[in-house]
């Protein structure tokens, strides 16, 4: 990879329970301030679970009243987050045909889909189709280049960021708005994940319910979120004097081919994905400053990821953080949100801690960052997403070089 091919991250935008802005999200992460609350997933209040909803959200100022009626809440979150990311980057300079959008989502318009079952109106399909977010972003941002939607469960957001990087590398676009969006806050979603054993369904304190890598972990908390990044060539970013949060240097995706929902127990596919991402970046494993783990808090996923990390880097050899302890799990948007967090960590030289760890699972031999933020030297980091279906995605980010 030549300097001309280096991809810069120049804009960030979020909407999630842990923060309506990037600054608010960062502050809550550094202070281990959980977004969790007891949330009613149905109007009757019969399905109440610990979760991380976006409080007091409104798309006012981003979408008209008519546009709000035509969009699912997930898409509304996406439009707000992506618009903020573009503003943060200083706008999109290339012509419309050289701009691209890549979105990731597992469910699409889940709320609209559930409410429309049996009595769909004329907007039912446009509201719940998975590519609705990509359409609205292309329309709002004047994008006539590649516009793509990826759906690989909880790896969707990371796949979106990685494939966006490839669009720039291969010359198909000069700037890409990439990320994920999800609003899975329906009774059906909560009940299904709860019955599968992946979701925390009961707790004494919602803010302490998400406990990745803890010996007493019981699963994840559903989160609604959107997170977007603006990507462009580093040379172009520097030429226009843009702020560069981090560079994207590596990306890989693998499949476990093991089970529909359970990860390969030894983390073989996860390790292969990290190895391939590092190879793509030209980065040795011992250069990694920290890992932003997938860290769902489910017994099987945490253990498989911990084994993959120990096998690749060595036991407790690299600092690890698990941000879902604060944010919850945004499913298809999770990887994009964690790419944002990893970029901020490199920009600030500070990695947020994993919240709620009481006792590290003795089978997870990790240097888990806890208690408070940890300073890290300039250098590369890796962000992981390991999803249902055995879909693995990893991206390598780095501190911008002079």
Catalytic residue among 128, 159, 181, 329: 329
Global pTM? Answer: 0.96
221 has pLDDT over 80 = yes
Structural domains of the chain, ranges and CATH numbers in brackets: 7-239 (3.40.47.10), 250-398 (3.40.47.10)
Give the Cα separation of 10 and 269 in Å (integer). 31
Give the Cα separation of 177 and 143 in Å (integer). 9
Binned at pLDDT 50, 70 and 90, residue 119 comes out as confident
Q: Tell me the average pLDDT across 63-72.
A: 96
Catalytic, 258? Answer no
Catalytic residue among 294, 323, 364, 394: 294
- Beta carbons of 92 and 86 less than 8 angstroms apart: yes
Q: Tell me the average pLDDT across 223-248.
A: 97
Give the Cα separation of 249 and 135 in Å (integer). 28
- Beta carbons of 104 and 137 less than 8 angstroms apart: no
- Residue carrying structure tokens 């979603």: 189
Specify the pLDDT at position 4: 55
**Total count of residues recorded for the chain:** 402
Specify the pLDDT at position 2: 53
Catalytic residue among 16, 52, 80, 154: 154
395 has pLDDT over 90 = yes
Q: Tell me the average pLDDT across 75-88.
A: 98
Catalytic, 364? Answer no
Catalytic, 128? Answer no
Helices (H), 219-265: 234-239
- Beta carbons of 14 and 21 less than 8 angstroms apart: yes
390 has pLDDT over 70 = yes
Summary mean pLDDT of the chain: 96
């Amino acid at each position: 990879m030549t300097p001309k091919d280096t991809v810069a991250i120049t804009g960030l935008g979020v909407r999630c329970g842990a923060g309506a802005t990037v600054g608010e999200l960062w502050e809550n992460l550094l202070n281990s301030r959980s977004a969790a609350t007891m949330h009613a997933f149905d109007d009757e209040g019969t399905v109440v679970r610990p979760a991380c909803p976006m409080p007091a959200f409104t798309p006012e100022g981003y979408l008209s009243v008519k546009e709000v009626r035509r969009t699912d809440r997930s898409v509304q979150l996406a439009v707000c987050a992506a618009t903020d990311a573009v503003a943060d980057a200083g706008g999109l300079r290339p012509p419309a045909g050289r701009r691209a959008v890549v979105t990731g989502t597992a469910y699409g318009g889940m709320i609209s889909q559930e409410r429309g079952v049996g009595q769909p109106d004329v907007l039912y399909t446009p509201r719940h189709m998975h590519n609705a977010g990509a359409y609205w972003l292309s329309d709002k941002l004047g994008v006539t280049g590649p516009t793509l939607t990826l759906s690989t469960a909880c790896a969707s957001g990371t796949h979106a960021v990685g494939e966006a990087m490839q669009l720039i590398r291969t010359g198909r676009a000069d700037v890409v708005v990439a990320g994920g969006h999800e609003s899975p806050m329906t009774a059906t979603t909560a009940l299904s994940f709860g019955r599968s054993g992946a979701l925390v369904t009961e707790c004494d304190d919602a803010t302490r319910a998400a406990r990745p890598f803890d010996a007493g972990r019981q699963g994840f908390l559903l989160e609604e979120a959107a997170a977007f990044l603006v990507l462009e060539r580093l040379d172009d970013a520097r030429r226009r004097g843009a702020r560069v949060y981090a560079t994207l240097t590596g990306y890989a995706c693998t499949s476990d081919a093991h089970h529909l929902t359970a990860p390969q127990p030894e983390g073989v596919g996860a390790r292969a994905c990290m190895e391939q991402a590092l190879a793509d970046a030209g980065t040795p494993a011992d250069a990694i400053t920290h890992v932003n783990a997938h860290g769902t808090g489910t017994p099987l996923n945490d253990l498989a990821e911990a084994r993959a990390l120990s096998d690749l880097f060595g036991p407790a050899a690299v600092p690890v953080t698990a941000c879902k302890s604060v944010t919850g799990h945004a499913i298809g948007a999770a990887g994009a949100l964690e790419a944002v967090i990893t970029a901020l960590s490199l920009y600030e030289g500070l990695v947020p801690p994993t919240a709620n760890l009481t006792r590290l699972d003795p089978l997870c031999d990790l240097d888990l960052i806890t208690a408070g933020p940890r300073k890290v030297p300039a250098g590369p980091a890796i962000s992981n997403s390991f999803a249902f279906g055995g879909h693995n995605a990893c991206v390598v980010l780095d501190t911008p070089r002079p």
